[in-house]
């Protein structure tokens, strides 16, 4: 009887996990190229880049996405290592973008980045809330 109950609970758990995987947000399925395009569009819209600046920023974003993709594929030595390396990539990207933009444009760029970070924090809070509610 215990075995049957355990099997039923495991089946339910698997189906719930499967349904969460099915409802994963579209942004998680974007390719690195799509991410670069979206980021570039946002930066162009916010900072009014000229064609030369846009091309340089696109190359910087592409390089950063390649580095982030390589980071996702390798296993970190410790749990926080991946986050530290991702922050280093973001800092490097910001430094390179700063060289391309005017001071006014860079101010707008940093404001955009902060706004995106805040949205990410909110999504993480929502996920934690859903996880906490689901485990009760």
pTM: 0.69
The burial of 61, by beta-carbon neighbours within 10 Å (0-12 exposed, 13-18 middle, 19 or more buried), is given as: buried
Judged by average pLDDT, the poorest of 38-42, 63-67, 82-86, 105-109 is: 82-86
Residue 58 makes CB contacts below 8 A (sequence gap 6+) with: 36, 40
Q: Cα–Cα–Cα angle for 81, 85, 87, nearest 5°? A: 120
Q: Is the pLDDT of residue 124 over 90?
A: no
**SS3 labels along the chain:** CHHHHHHHHHHHHHHHHHHHHHCCCHHHHCCHHHHHHHHHHHHHHHHCCCHHHHHHHHHHHHHHHHHHHHHHHCCCCCCCHHHHHHHHHHHHHHHHHHHHCCHHHHHHHHHHHHHHHHHHHHHHHHHHHHHHHHHC
Region 89-105: what's the mean pLDDT?
95
For residues 51 and 78, give the distance between their C-alpha atoms in angstroms, rounded to a whole number. 42
- What pLDDT sits at residue 21? 47
Nearest CA to 93 among 54, 119, 55, 67? Answer: 67
Q: Is the pLDDT of residue 45 over 60?
A: yes
């Amino acid at each position: 009887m215990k075995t049957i109950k355990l099997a039923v609970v495991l089946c339910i758990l698997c189906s719930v996990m499967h349904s969460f995987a099915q409802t994963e947000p579209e942004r998680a399925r974007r390719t690195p190229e799509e991410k670069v395009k979206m980021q570039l569009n946002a930066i162009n819209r916010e900072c009014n880049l000229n064609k030369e600046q846009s091309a340089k920023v696109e190359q910087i974003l592409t390089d950063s996405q390649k580095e982030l993709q390589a980071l996702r594929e390798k296993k970190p030595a410790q749990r926080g290592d991946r986050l530290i390396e991702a922050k280093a990539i973001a800092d490097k990207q910001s430094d390179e973008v700063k060289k391309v933009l005017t001071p006014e444009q860079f101010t707008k760029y940093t404001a955009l980045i902060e706004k995106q970070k805040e949205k990410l924090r909110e999504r993480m809070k929502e996920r934690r809330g859903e996880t906490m509610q689901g485990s009760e």
